[in-house]
Structure 1
Amino acid sequence: MELNSSMQVLVIQTGGTIDKDYPKRKGGYAFEIGKSAARGIIEQHNVPLRFRYETVCQKDSQDITDEDRLKLLTVCNDCSEKLILITHGTDNLLTTAAFLGHQNLPKRIILTGAFLPEKFKDSDAAFNVGVALGALQCLSSNGIYVAMNGLVLPWRQAMRDPDTGQYVPK
């Protein structure tokens, strides 16, 4: 698939650490899922592609349900875009990637997230979103991929190292 100026990337927010923000409620102590971090990153860096944004849910990935995954699948399946970036919490990112991977969608979909909220100074959010956007343009095959830690891996070849928490090849 060649990328051309009429092509559009769908960016889907599901929540997770990447989107966490400081509490807005008085007396709040826990982080809240805020606006799409990917959208802010893309707009800040003036990425010269066309984007459409959609929110499926705003949850910590530990709270994402099969119902949420079905809604995500419906959005991915029904949209006209062939290139999709999904931001997701890192704890269950591979579960969602596997769920989507078993559907054989005729699209190129990359899931990414962050270990620190985008709002934090040393967050990996912008780096991971940038790697994912570059990969969407350069990969030659449709499928489900994971972009974390500077790596882009087909979902079946990605795992999380139990000692470091980093995403690594199987």
Structure 2
Amino acid sequence: VIYKDSLDMNMDDRKMLAKIIMESKDDTFIVVHGTDTMHMSAEFLSEIFEDRKIVFVGAMKPFEIDAIEASFNLGMAIGFAKALKEYGVYICMSGYAEPWKNIQKNTKFGKFEVVS
């Protein structure tokens, strides 16, 4: 619904995303998001929602350049979202699906990693 580079995402965009989720009757959402500011949007939504399952997903390389990574991550996010039992905000990237606080982007190695 926003269609912009995540570096251009601002608070108004995050508020619009929150409004869409808030007004929905569903409790499970997959948010396709650029990786540069994914953690900022995940943190923002985690402060608002305690009764939703929100899974952020993206790709380190644009779909147009490498469709395999983007497709894999999206498929994994869909499966993870369907199996989720607990509410929360999650990030599904690089073969990991974790609460947003437990995963971060490693730009040096071009992937997301689990952090303790």
Give the TM-score normalised by the residue count of structure 2.
Answer: 0.92
TM-score normalized with structure 1 length: 0.64
Residue of structure 1 aligned with 2:57, choices 112, 119, 144? 112
Whether the aligned pair in 1 keeps the contact of 2:53 and 2:86 (CA below 8 Å) is: yes
- Is residue 115–residue 123 contact of structure 1 (8 Å, CA) maintained in 2? no
CA distance in 1, matches of 2:66, 2:105: 24
Structure label with greater radius of gyration = 1
Query: Aligned partner of 1:105: which letter?
Result: E
For residues 124-165 of structure 1, the C-alpha deviation after alignment (integer angstroms, 9 at most, x for no partner) is 110000000000011210110000001001011111224213
Tell me the number of residue pairs that the alignment of Structure 1 and Structure 2 aligns.
115
Q: CA deviation at 1:117?
A: 2.1
3-state SS, counterpart of residue 109 of structure 1: strand
Equivalence map 1:59-98=2 (5 Å): 59-98=4-43
* Matched ranges for 1:3-22 at <5 A: none
CA RMSD of aligned residues (A): 1.3
In terms of fraction of residues, the more strand-rich structure is: 1
* Equivalent-residue separation in structure 2 for 1:94 and 1:59 (angstroms): 16
CA distance in 1, matches of 2:80, 2:18: 21
Amino acid of the residue matched to residue 88 of structure 2? Answer: G
Higher helix residue share: 2
Contact 2:73 2:93 (8 Å CA) reproduced: yes
Instruction: Check whether the contact 1:131–1:147 (CA below 8 A) recurs between aligned residues.
Output: yes
Aligned to 2:74: 129
**Structure 2 unpaired stretches of 5+:** none
Secondary structure of residue in 2 paired with 1:67: helix
Q: Which residue of 1 aligns with 2:110?
A: 165
Residue 92 of structure 2 corresponds to residue 150 of structure 1: no
* Percent identity of paired positions between Structure 1 and Structure 2: 28
